[in-house]
Amino acid sequence: MLGFSLVEKRDFPEAEFSLYFLALVDKAQIPDDDAARNEWMKSIPGILELTHNHGTESDATASYHNGNSDPRGFGHICVSVPDVKVACERFEALGVDFQKRLSDGRMNSLAFIKDPDGYWVEIIQPTPL
């Protein structure tokens, strides 16, 4: 939905978790060779690292705190897009849940959408400083 490509997955079965590294890149740019990919990952502007703790998908009691309710903590990630209005129109058409639309409040140059787990993702359009 946001255009991220999976760059690399690392499994740690002894510790029962996996790491997923995602980036806003063309999949054709991702090197096949492990060593080359590791070096390439250090050279790109940004990577989103996600952790999957094994077993949580089948544990009805497992939950995550998104940091946007008490006790506050981690709040959100931010993704910049070429055109925030076009992006928000696309999210709206796809039925994405919004925390804040462009028209909400005084800060009408940014929006917040929610991922399926309720984590906030800020959507901005970069502007020159």
Binding-site sequence positions for Zn(2+) = 49, 76, 122
Is residue 8 annotated as a catalytic residue, yes or no?
no
CB burial class (10 A; 0-12, 13-18, 19+) of residue 57? exposed
What residues form the annotated binding site? 49, 76, 122
SS3 64: coil
Q: How many residues does the chain have?
A: 129
Q: If residue 34 lies in a helix (H) or strand (E), which one and from where to where?
A: helix 34-43
Question: Of 8, 14, 16, 122, which residue is the catalytic one?
Answer: 122
- Catalytic residue numbers read 122
